[in-house]
Amino acid sequence: MARTTVVGFSLVVVIACLVGVPAGFAEERIAGTVIKTHLTACAVVPGKVGTCEGTLELEPHAGEWVTLQVTRDTVLKKGEEKAFLFQLQGNRATVTYVTEGEQKVATSVVATPSGR
């Protein structure tokens, strides 16, 4: 009886892991300079800074640009401080993102403040 319970529990854990991580949603990272931001919508959420949507263009290498979608759930930081999308422009940043279809959707953007 105990062995059946362990095997059954193990099977449930394996299925939950397989279903819980859809293919193509693995997080990736890219670093570069934020060369352009475009704000499409913002909302005031008490206690939360940076709840804006839009796009961010990153230049990982000279002459190469990557466009990333920024959602209201994207964590935006400049150093250790929360930031607004427009405050990231011109800074070096590391972006963590997932690919959804043809779009790269940022889950976090952490910029290094200028002068560091």
Sorted by sequence, the CB contacts under 8 Å of residue 100 that are 6+ apart come out as 24, 25
Point out which residues pair with 75 in neighbouring strands: 108
Condensed to tens digits (0 to 9), the pLDDT of residues 61-115 reads 888 999 999 998 899 999 999 888 999 999 999 999 999 999 999 999 999 987 6
What per-residue confidence (pLDDT) applies to 77?
94
Residue whose entry in the numeric block shows the structure tokens 């796009």: 55
Contact 109, 53 (CB under 8 A): no
Helix (H) or strand (E) holding 22: none
Quote the pLDDT of residue 16.
43
Residue 19 and residue 6: Cα distance in Å, rounded?
20
Full set of structural domains in the chain with CATH: 27-111 (2.40.50)
pTM (2 decimals)?
Answer: 0.72
3-state DSSP assignment of residue 11? helix
